Structure 1
């Protein structure tokens, strides 16, 4: 039975008060914790993630595709692949608007991003495809609706803070790259993370959240160092755990989230400090996340070696990995028309499904067949999207068969 949205905050409050007893008896058997390289549910069973990214952090700051299909239809497509998680991205700007009492209704959001004519047109399409929404429905209420449908279909929600300013990600020059960059207000970021952690306590499907997507150098070449990473990421994680003790907390690394070995191995970060997972009260909530887009690679051993050196040694029993925790590949992907048979795609599947101790979790980029707007282009097609342009069917059956096989090998 689908829960009315008005009940979700009440259930969330109960879960916060006593998360084990209130949730352990039913799906998702949360809260989750970690034990070595594995995620465990409240029953002590090993949990793995196999899912897909659903973007909601670009200019409109509303999850994509709703002008073409309903929330239920899109979620059902994801579920039909056997997937059990979505990485739902959001922008801190959405929370800033809430704190600033800025109108974040669907009507305002689409018109601001697409202009009066096109914004009104797309809004009408969204309302036709999703009749439970009105033009006064807020952006955050759309996220609530997705979370409610995820609970109905037993799909975990992993919240990902993708950017601060709502726009396409990522580059060195987009103002979202590093702490203190043009749009990356650190205080607002920490506030936004805590806000979403608290708000999502009302979502039964909510099990984990990230700190920040793809940290990187700024336009002037500053940032991307471990000292600054440590000084900012630790307080942010502390804030999440204070706001909500339930979710797993994903730590991303440097260089577009391709480097975590220094932290995993407990090496000197550059000022005599060493990250020690055990020193944190939420040590059993920490997850390492990495991204990989080595699409042009032609040697599988090279791909496996780079993943291992970037932090996956924590999943392989390497004694050098003093901060052992699950490592998840929260982004990887390829052109759906040509990429599923590549050395890269086949190697990623082989590596993650044959790790010592069991498969590793992953979230493919991306479900989107198209975007409301991307880098100024409206209704922009996404050739990497699992779904076709109008989100009605799979873009390429061969590529989807690859993903189905990957899911099955990961989840059993």
Structure 2
């Protein structure tokens, strides 16, 4: 969503709701961050600023009192129409339908349910069926539908004013109206992606209490723990489980630095530090829980939108999906993961949208074309590169522009972004649909589409370009790292090597490479799902395997060797404090060859294939060929040193 402080948006009819108890602090933070960039321009916004002095606790304190009941119903809701072919999965860098045909998300954001009215906007202007028909008229096939956590637990009826054109919603709770919105969309053949936009029901996304997925330590505001956030998501997944047109769960909008407790102290997210602010950990754990509840749902993980300090206190940046290269998200159902990112003209990699606090840092619209394209490629575009250990679909789930923008830079930015999305064949979601928004795609009375302004040529190009179509069958790669804990990408839940850190390849993948720093590469290239349908596996750990199953003799003399039985392949590895300590062997669904060779990598890289990319940067690594499987691993003093690479086909 276009933002206020960390991501300011000029000209937007904002609701600024940072409530603090001391008027001086209100003036300091609100005026330095907002007035400094000429954002407060309407009577409504002036009234909002004044209300901060008159009502310092405001709606956040009210929320704490109103939302004590977190037992929202989790009854399943269903529809009668299933079109297109669902459920969706991923295949490499593409989203595919139930028949493995590519389905490109051409989405639009329809907001309101996460805001102060608790329902999607426009229901006061037009019947919901008419609004849905306008989405179809534009050509969108999917809708990103934001919600706030507090909305889910508000048990009072929505105001009649907010749904005036839809009297069937009089007396309904916000969640019941959200249900009806989903039903109207999906019955029309439009798929829905649920989006946890905010914790509080308010405009997003400044320096507020919504930056992380949890908010605790407040004496007056609503407190939400990570466990409560997880419970909300599981309730939503159960609620729409019987509607297969609800295809995705967008876990959290624009994770960013937020206010800690009741203070203005910055609380920054991170990626991989294994603490309470670790978005990699939180999103991965949430994704596992969701896929356990409903294996048909796409789990959508947006990169970190801002980390570090807020600009007035120092520096910060937008890492987006750059950390994925070092530490991808791994789910037991690896074909359910999608990444997401946002891009707007008025912000930049180190620019928060406010020139008074980010002055000197370049915005995306100020970049030349080559710089812009290389920047977004580095931030999120690289993830859709095929046959890499991090390859996955990327959904640009927010971008947008004002029809009244006459500046050549804004118009050139949208042209360039459109070019990138088409050239990289990426999924997208325009922000927003809303007729009540300056950047919207509908008239202010929500009666018709707006296709007369300069934006249409670019949106029309996006919507009319399909990119790859038809059946998709990609080669897949995934890396593992067990240096600080388990890395399980499989549905195997047993503790197959008790007391050790374990890395397990996705179901049906085989281990293809290993490094000296406890990283591994998994793949299904050349075989597809190699695992026998009986799902048998075998463990060789700690002590050397006494039998040379592959008839190779002492294939790594002087080293401890772990070797799989005949027709088993290595699908996981383990380490104890002293180093590499074992392997997981999965039974193959086909007869495997015993024609094997030793690949040493203790003194340098030794790769029979470069596919998968540099999956263990800065470390020596060994990798078998594309038509080989790993039959064994050798180590000395815990240091992985050699692979037994065997031909797949006899």
Structure 1 length as normaliser, TM-score?
A: 0.78
CA-based RMSD of the aligned residues comes to 2.5
Deviation at 1:28, TM superposition (A): 2.5
CA separation in 2, counterparts of 1:84 and 1:225?
A: 34
Matched, 1:105 2:153: no
**SS of equivalent residue, structure 2 residue 100:** coil
Size of the aligned set, in residue pairs, is 346
- Residue 336 of structure 2 is matched in structure 1 by 285
CA separation in 1, counterparts of 2:120 and 2:434?
A: 9
- Residue 257 of structure 2 is matched in structure 1 by 217
- Residue 189 of structure 1 is matched in structure 2 by 229
Deviation per residue, 1:75-118 (Å, 9 max, x gap): 111110111011000011122x2xxxx52322xxx3xxxxxxxx
Deviation at 1:231, TM superposition (A): 2.8
CA separation in 2, counterparts of 1:76 and 1:326?
A: 28
- Residue 175 of structure 1 is matched in structure 2 by 209
Matched, 1:78 2:113: no
**SS of equivalent residue, structure 2 residue 115:** coil
CA separation in 2, counterparts of 1:176 and 1:316?
A: 32
Deviation at 1:52, TM superposition (A): 0.7
CA separation in 2, counterparts of 1:233 and 1:206?
A: 19
CA separation in 2, counterparts of 1:147 and 1:180?
A: 26
Contact 2:144 2:194 in 1 (8 A): yes
Contact 1:181 1:218 in 2 (8 A): no
- Residue 140 of structure 1 is matched in structure 2 by 175
Change (3 A) 1:299 1:223: same
Higher relative contact order (CA 8 A, sep 6+): 1
- Residue 519 of structure 2 is matched in structure 1 by none
Deviation per residue, 1:128-148 (Å, 9 max, x gap): x113322x2121221222222
Matched, 1:312 2:381: yes
Matched, 1:28 2:84: yes
Written as runs of structure 1 = structure 2, the 5 A alignment for 1:2-401 is: 9=76, 11=78, 26-55=82-111, 56-95=113-152, 97=153, 102-106=154-158, 110=159, 122-123=161-162, 126-127=163-164, 129-134=165-170, 136-172=171-207, 174-181=208-215, 183-219=223-259, 220-226=265-271, 227=273, 228-256=278-306, 258-265=318-325, 267=326, 274-275=327-328, 277=330, 280-295=331-346, 296-317=365-386, 321-338=388-405, 342-355=411-424, 359-370=425-436, 382-395=437-450, 397-398=452-453, 399-401=455-457
Mark the runs of 5 or more structure 2 residues left unpaired by the alignment. Answer: 1-74, 217-222, 260-264, 308-317, 347-364, 470-650
CA separation in 1, counterparts of 2:192 and 2:323?
A: 26
**SS of equivalent residue, structure 2 residue 284:** helix
Contact 1:93 1:166 in 2 (8 A): yes
Change (3 A) 1:276 1:90: closer
Deviation per residue, 1:49-90 (Å, 9 max, x gap): 112100121112211111001111111111101110110000
Deviation at 1:263, TM superposition (A): 4.0
Contact 2:340 2:397 in 1 (8 A): yes
Change (3 A) 1:214 1:336: same
**SS of equivalent residue, structure 1 residue 162:** strand
Mark the runs of 5 or more structure 1 residues left unpaired by the alignment. Answer: 1-7, 13-21, 111-119, 268-273, 371-381
Contact 2:87 2:244 in 1 (8 A): no
CA separation in 2, counterparts of 1:9 and 1:191?
A: 16
**SS of equivalent residue, structure 1 residue 132:** helix
CA separation in 1, counterparts of 2:281 and 2:96?
A: 29
Change (3 A) 1:70 1:312: same
CA separation in 2, counterparts of 1:51 and 1:166?
A: 23
Deviation per residue, 1:279-310 (Å, 9 max, x gap): x2121100010001134335222222121111
Change (3 A) 1:176 1:184: farther
Contact 2:214 2:229 in 1 (8 A): no
Asked which structure has the greater CA Rg, the reply is 2
CA separation in 2, counterparts of 1:203 and 1:104?
A: 25
Deviation at 1:11, TM superposition (A): 4.6
CA separation in 2, counterparts of 1:387 and 1:10?
A: 29
- Which structure features the higher share of strand residues? 2
**SS of equivalent residue, structure 1 residue 79:** helix
CA separation in 1, counterparts of 2:449 and 2:254?
A: 28
CA separation in 2, counterparts of 1:236 and 1:194?
A: 9
CA separation in 1, counterparts of 2:329 and 2:417?
A: 29
Deviation at 1:347, TM superposition (A): 0.8
Structure 2 length as normaliser, TM-score?
A: 0.50
